[in-house]
Amino acid sequence: MAKKVLVLLMLVFTAWSARAQELQCDVVVNSEQVQYTDRQLFTDMQTRIFEFMNNRRWTNQQYRPDERIKCRLLINLTEMPEIGSFKANVQVLSVRPAYGTGYESTLFSFIDKDWTFRFNDAQPLEYAENSYTSNLSSMLAFYAYMIIGMDNDSFGRLGGAPAFDQARSILNVASSQGAGYPGWKAFDSNRNRYWLIDNVQDPQFLPFREGMYTMHRQGLDQMAEQPEDARQNVLGVLENMQRLQQQKPNAAILRAFFDAKADELVNMFKAAAPAQKQQAYTILSQVDPTNNSKYEILLKR
């Protein structure tokens, strides 16, 4: 009898744990540029980062296993100035399902070139709210909350605010206690962690955050059943992005948006009516000239 009770308790705990975790994060550590004989160190690094992202409860929200946010960290190690010290550039990606389809939309895509950290496979990666333990854990936690905030904004209008507040708190602690590591302050770069969270929480960028909801709930989630209405809603979002680009040229969050959405926007509008295609191309070629070669397909009949 006692054994049955123990098994039941274990099942309940497992079910609770599965509901508690928000992220389903794939982690890839590329160490090809680093010359170091003990390659096991990099395997351990990848495993520890994976566990840090996936085995932690980041919020009080409840997630079923199928609701966990799919995301990826592509960590490209570029230097090891000394044993245990690393420099890297990292691409952070997250996706979101589109309602009624098997399609997964890239929601967040950002390349952070300012990863400098220490890693010791004998010491655990720890994170405690409102305190600084290491630059690596601070960077990982910052992006965990950015991913959750962006996802929540796409499902509920301004729903990501609590997660963004947590990301801001991590930035504040890391910038004051982080021993001068780059990426946390405005003057380090014009596209870094500071500017990401600053843009998201800037009242001038409220149309961006509201646009994330409209783009996904009234755009992508309606494409299967009401494609014309969905495209028109997305055009409204792009018009707001255009105004933001004029007010805040080269803003970090706008660059991240178009890095994530360029291909998707082409696929969305290439089957549109000629007038909609032309309108989409006119806006996109102005606000995102980097991807203009992709948008030119919208000019084809």
How do the domains of the chain map onto residue ranges? 207-296
d(CA 221, CA 186): 36
Let me know: does 183 contact 139? Beta carbons within 8 Å: yes
- Helix, strand, coil: what percent of the chain each, to 5? 55, 15, 25
The backbone torsions φ and ψ at residue 125, rounded to the nearest 5 degrees and listed phi first, read: -80, 120
Does the pTM exceed 0.85? yes
pLDDT computed for residue 5 by the predictor: 41
pLDDT in tens, the chain (301 residues): 444 444 444 443 344 444 568 999 999 999 999 988 889 999 999 999 999 999 999 999 988 998 999 999 999 999 999 999 999 999 999 999 999 888 999 999 999 999 999 999 888 899 998 899 999 999 999 999 999 999 999 999 999 999 999 999 999 999 998 778 999 999 888 899 999 999 999 999 999 999 999 999 999 999 999 999 999 999 999 999 999 999 999 899 999 999 999 999 999 999 999 999 999 999 999 999 999 999 999 998 7
Residues 6+ apart with CB under 8 A from 243: 207
pLDDT computed for residue 155 by the predictor: 96
Structural tokens at position 230: 């969905």
Angle, CA 177 vertex, CA 90 and CA 150 arms, to 5°: 45
Which amino acid would we find at residue 222? Q
d(CA 23, CA 265): 26
Let me know: does 173 contact 130? Beta carbons within 8 Å: yes
